[in-house]
A and B are shown apart, each in its own frame.
Chain A
Amino acid sequence: MRSILFFVRKELLQIFRNKAMLPLLFVMPIIQLLILSHVATNEVKNLKLGVSDLSHGILSQRLINKMTCSGYFAIPEKTGSGLPRAAQLENRDQIHLALDADQVDLVILIPEDFEQNLRTGTPTEIQLLVNAINSMKAGVATTYASAIISDYQGSLQREGIIPTKEELLQISRPRINIRYNHWFNPELDYKTFMVPGILALLVSMLTLLLGAMNVVREREIGTIEQIEVSPVKTPVFIVGKLLPLLIIGLVELSIGLLIAKFLFKTPMEGPLLLLYTFASLTIIAMLSLGLMISNITDTQQQAMFVAWFFMIIFVLMSGLFTPIESMPHWAQKLTYINPIAQLVSIVRLNLLKGSDWTDVGPYFRLILRLDVIYGLLAMAMFKKRSK
């Protein structure tokens, strides 16, 4: 026991002697939290609208006004050299020019006989041309635009500008209203959503990198042989190596939680002990993975490269940025072996929804299983390598 303590002390001294560690420990969480939480939003706003109004009437003008007043669309005023005016695109060529140059995100094309047809009750057609390279953004843009247009149509019908039969007018009114409540985050604030997830990312990323680089560093500079000939036993060596990193991981988590609490006002509904326990279990799994990586690599460069490779896969498939439910089934199954996915879920459940021990049993069983499997694998690989 005493030897472990000495070992841990030696390790901590060694880690903090490296000047690069301090910024890593204190600057990285702040930068990540600050940047990521502001960046990571899929809210679509300020869509650039181009108009091609061939009818030049009061009704078409009213529709355009309705769109720009909604707050989702704005007509860009600035024109670059050789670009047409977005407020009035004259023909197909100009429309495509504006889309090509990224001057506008979508163009609304109102036909010549728009007003006349509306007033006589003849069906007419509005075209929306959307830059769909970003398919998500395009989907949102058309949803917004369609909603505004059908709203516009409804008010014209009620005002009697579009002649409509009484019974059709009746059914054009919505009869089923949907009232919605967003629980746990009524304003749908993105930061509330992202900050806990980034905390999970932060802790697991750091511990995986540190775990992967630590042993391989000793191997690269040749000091591992000194340890191998010393009376320190393998389990003591491994625990002594990994325990300081676990401590660092938890310190990191605490720093992150403080920032979240005071800077982002992230709610913390559930018991923090649960969060710390689960984070420790996740860190143990990440460290075991790190140890495995340092067993299959010879240099720090390799180790960091391999670690980075797994990191990016784990993060992309963790449900941090895109919901796990929208992945195909086989990919959803892969989250069972992904510690980061588990931690992301738990941090969100615990901080935002106040989930207690009784709620999250399955998650604990899963992470414990991962700890045992990864731990044994790492141990076995380490022994084999030492021989």
Chain B
Amino acid sequence: MWNAFSSFVLKEFKHILRDKRTLIIMTGMPVVLMLIFGYAVRTDFQEARFALWDQAQDQQSHTLIEQMSASGYFQQVANIRQKEEMEQLFRQGKIKVALVIPPSFGEDLQKGIPTQLQLISDGTEPNTATTLLYYLQGVVLNYQKRLSEELLGPLPPPPINIKQRMVYNPELKSTFMFVPGVITVVLMLISAMLTSLSIAKEKEKRTIELLLISPLPPWVIIVGKVLPYILLSFLNGLIIIAMGILIFGMPMHGNWIFLVLSFLLFIMTALSLGILISTKVSNQQTALFASLLGLMLPTVLLSGYIFPIESMPTPLQVISNLTPAKWFIIIIKGIMLKGIGITYLLKPILILVLMTFAFLLISWKNFKMHLS
């Protein structure tokens, strides 16, 4: 029995190792994803291209523009004199914002009359529009403060001083969001998607029947099939964690054993989901699309790793509770970033355990029906 089992596992391993391309991608995927998220995907804005319509052309407006460019957030790409030019630049996608300085800008400032700048932004990108507005407000506030200081000398400290403390992430690194996210996506991909595909392949090629009439009981076959994927997933998870800690400065405040155990738990959940899918489908293509729609989309979108769950409409917030990824991300963040123990994470852990059992139970029923 043990002999048959180990040779079955060995056979599965050989299948995986023979397929060099998939193997390369499987190990390359987490590395590439980490590098993209770490270096290429940013949410902080730099050098937004803007057009300037300076109707004042005086010393004050020049100083303001200098300060805008010096802030690093804005980069002037055009000087315009009429509205049509501005419209065209927007339509060509060449600018994100346009700033209009009124003719009496410097004069008003000197006389102490309130003056008005006009910012026109590209509303088709709401995030960018609001961020740039904040940046400009910051630049203008600084400018005003300097003007006042020129008039009155150094200002006394404000009555209320605000001290900000960024807990868990003092340097505001984006690493803390994407490392848990990448781990979940990759583990999901390997554990659930590849398992479902590999079982669906046996079904499509009808080799599953050969396996089922072999002396091994069905559950041994399933375990033998998924064991290599467990190891692969685990290895990948470790690669990502190592990269996160060594390259991107992800802290590890919690317990390593606890972390490893929760990895295994999530891998089990994902695997049981993969098995569930494979019992439902009859060929690889269907398995693929079922995984894409049923697994990857929710994992990426509803787990709160790119978009905040709180901002979603209520029905989607409810659905997000059904994605294992959401709970796993809570666990990883809790262990690594907050260093909290099992007492605070009991709820997500129990949910994952329950999900795993539920998936396995449903697949067990499906599986039996198939054989009869």
Are A and B interaction partners? yes
Instruction: Evaluate contact between A132 and B167: CB separation under 8 angstroms.
Output: yes
Instruction: Evaluate contact between B302 and A39: CB separation under 8 angstroms.
Output: yes
Instruction: Evaluate contact between A182 and B289: CB separation under 8 angstroms.
Output: no
- The answer, yes or no, to whether A133 is at the interface (CB within 8 Å) is yes
A133 touching B337 in the complex, CB below 8 Å, given contacts A45-B310, A123-B161, A178-B117: yes
Instruction: Evaluate contact between B301 and A323: CB separation under 8 angstroms.
Output: no
How long is the Cα–Cα vector from A156 to B189 in the complex, in angstroms? 56
A213 touching B285 in the complex, CB below 8 Å, given contacts A131-B167, A178-B117: yes
Interface bracket on A: 35 or more
- The answer, yes or no, to whether A94 is at the interface (CB within 8 Å) is no
A345 touching B311 in the complex, CB below 8 Å, given contacts A31-B293, A182-B121: no
Instruction: Evaluate contact between B124 and A321: CB separation under 8 angstroms.
Output: no
- The answer, yes or no, to whether A377 is at the interface (CB within 8 Å) is no
**B contacts with A, residue count (CB < 8 A):** 108
Instruction: Evaluate contact between A193 and B114: CB separation under 8 angstroms.
Output: no
How long is the Cα–Cα vector from A313 to B128 in the complex, in angstroms? 22
Name the segment of A4-12, A169-177, A230-238 touching the other chain.
A169-177
How long is the Cα–Cα vector from A365 to B11 in the complex, in angstroms? 51
Closest to B98 in A: A183
0/1 per residue, A150-185, Cβ < 8 Å to B? 101100110000101001101101111111111111
Instruction: Evaluate contact between A322 and B41: CB separation under 8 angstroms.
Output: yes
- The answer, yes or no, to whether B227 is at the interface (CB within 8 Å) is no
Closest approach, in angstroms, between the C-beta of B171 and any C-beta of chain A? 9
Instruction: Evaluate contact between A138 and B120: CB separation under 8 angstroms.
Output: no
Closest to A346 in B: B93
Instruction: Evaluate contact between B121 and A180: CB separation under 8 angstroms.
Output: yes
B109 surroundings in chain A (CB, below 8 A): 175-176
A162 surroundings in chain B (CB, below 8 A): 159
How long is the Cα–Cα vector from A41 to B39 in the complex, in angstroms? 22
Closest approach, in angstroms, between the C-beta of B302 and any C-beta of chain A? 7
A188 touching B123 in the complex, CB below 8 Å, given contacts A39-B307, A125-B161: yes
- The answer, yes or no, to whether B280 is at the interface (CB within 8 Å) is no
- The answer, yes or no, to whether A348 is at the interface (CB within 8 Å) is yes
Instruction: Evaluate contact between B155 and A325: CB separation under 8 angstroms.
Output: no
Instruction: Evaluate contact between A325 and B91: CB separation under 8 angstroms.
Output: no
Residues of B within 8 A of A (CB): 19, 21-22, 25-26, 28-29, 32-33, 36-37, 39-49, 88, 90-93, 96, 109, 112, 114-130, 133-134, 136-137, 140, 143-144, 147-148, 151-152, 155-170, 172-174, 176-177, 189, 197-198, 201, 283-286, 288-289, 293, 297, 301-302, 306-308, 310-313, 316, 330, 333-334, 337-338, 340, 344
10 sample A-B contacts, Cβ–Cβ < 8 Å, listed by A number = A44-B310, A100-B334, A135-B172, A152-B160, A171-B144, A171-B155, A183-B90, A305-B21, A316-B41, A359-B88
Known: A132-B176, A182-B121, A182-B129. 18 other contacts (CB 8 A): A35-B297, A40-B301, A43-B126, A118-B159, A123-B158, A128-B165, A134-B177, A157-B159, A168-B152, A188-B123, A188-B126, A299-B19, A300-B288, A309-B25, A313-B36, A325-B49, A326-B45, A352-B124
